[in-house]
Amino acid sequence: MNAALELAATTRSLASLGLREVARQAGLNPNTFYRHFKDFDDLGVAMLDELGAELRGGLRERRMRPAAKGFRLSDLSDPAEGLAQAQALARESVGLVLDFVMDHREAYIVGIRELHGTSPVMRKAMRDMLEGIAQDMTEDLLGVLKLPGVEHDELIEIARVIVRQMVFFSMDYLEEPSRQKQIKRDAERFILLLFWGAIAARQPGLLAQAGLKFPDV
C-alpha cells in the first residue's frame, strides 16, 4: 500500500498503476500482489479505509477539542449566540480539514482523483466516506449548537454541501499555497452564508417585517 501511494503520488492515478509497477516499487514479486488483494479496487478500498478512518476520526476528535468545546452551550434560544458559535465552529472545522490535507497531501490528491475516477467501486467508497463525514458533522453540530428551527434533515443537507465544497477548497489550498489565507477565509465565509441562510429561512417572523418571505422550494 505504501508503494502504491508513492507511485500514485507521482503518476497520480491509482487506476493507471500497473501491478508489476507497484510490486517493483515494493521490492516484491508481481504475483505476491494477489496474495493480498484480488483487485486494484481491493487495494484502493483498503487504502481508503486506513486514510479515511484517520481523517474522519481526526475531524471528530478535533471537533471535541477545548477550542471547540469552549463554544458548547446548552440549549440557547438566541439566534445571535447560535451564529457566533457557528462561526467559531466553522473556523475550527475548516482549519482542521485544511491541516489534514496539508499533512496528507499525496494521499488526499490521489483519493480525490478516485472520487470521479474510473472505478465504480472506488467512487462508491469515496462517496460513502464523504457521506459519513457529513453524518458526523450533522451529529456534532446538533450536539454543539442549536440553530433555531433548523432540524436534522435540513442540517445534513447543508453538511453534504459543505463537505463537497471543501473538496474544491482543499484542492485550491494545496495547489495555490500563496492564496491559502484567502481560501481559508472563503471557505469559512461560504459555510457561514449557508448557516445564515438556513437560520433566516426558518425565522419567518424575523424578516417578515421587511416584507421578505423565503420561497417554498
Partner DNA sequence: GCGCGGGGTATACAATCGTCTACCGGCACA
Partner DNA sequence: TGTGCCGGTAGACGATTGTATACCCCGCGC
- The DSSP symbol for 179 reads G
DSSP 130-175: HHHHHHHHHHHHHHH---TT--HHHHHHHHHHHHHHHHHHHHHHHH
User: Binding segment for DNA among 12-20, 83-91, 158-166, 199-207 (CB under 7 A)?
Assistant: 12-20
| Residue 78 within binding range of a second copy, rule CB under 8 A | yes
Rounded to a whole number of angstroms, the minimum distance from the CB of residue 17 to a second copy is 11
- The DSSP symbol for 17 reads -
Q: Which of 31, 57, 103, 214 binds a second copy (CB under 8 A)?
A: 214
C-alpha cell of residue 217: 422550494
When the beta carbons of 28 and 206 are compared against a second copy, the nearer one is: 206
| Residue 36 within binding range of DNA, rule CB under 7 A | yes
Distances (CA, A) of 30 to 166, 167, 170: 38, 34, 35
| Residue 20 within binding range of DNA, rule CB under 7 A | yes
| Residue 15 within binding range of a second copy, rule CB under 8 A | yes
Beta carbons within 10 angstroms of residue 94's beta carbon: 24
C-alpha cell of residue 200: 433566516
Q: Which helix (H) or strand (E) covers residue 177, if one does?
A: none
Q: Which of 105, 116, 152, 179 binds a second copy (CB under 8 A)?
A: 116
| Residue 215 within binding range of a second copy, rule CB under 8 A | yes
Q: Which of 1, 3, 19, 88 binds DNA (CB under 7 A)?
A: 19
| Residue 21 within binding range of DNA, rule CB under 7 A | yes
Rounded to a whole number of angstroms, the minimum distance from the CB of residue 153 to DNA is 44
CB crowding 28-65: b at 16 or more within 10 Å, else e: eeeeebeeebeebbebbbebbeebbeebbebbeebbee
Q: Which does 10 bind (CB under 5 to 8 A by kind): a second copy, DNA, none?
A: none
Rounded to a whole number of angstroms, the minimum distance from the CB of residue 96 to a second copy is 17
| Residue 18 within binding range of DNA, rule CB under 7 A | yes
| Residue 105 within binding range of a second copy, rule CB under 8 A | no
> 211 burial class (0-12, 13-18, 19+ CB within 10 angstroms)?
exposed
Residues lying near DNA in the complex (CB under 7 A) are found at 18-21, 24, 27-32, 35-36
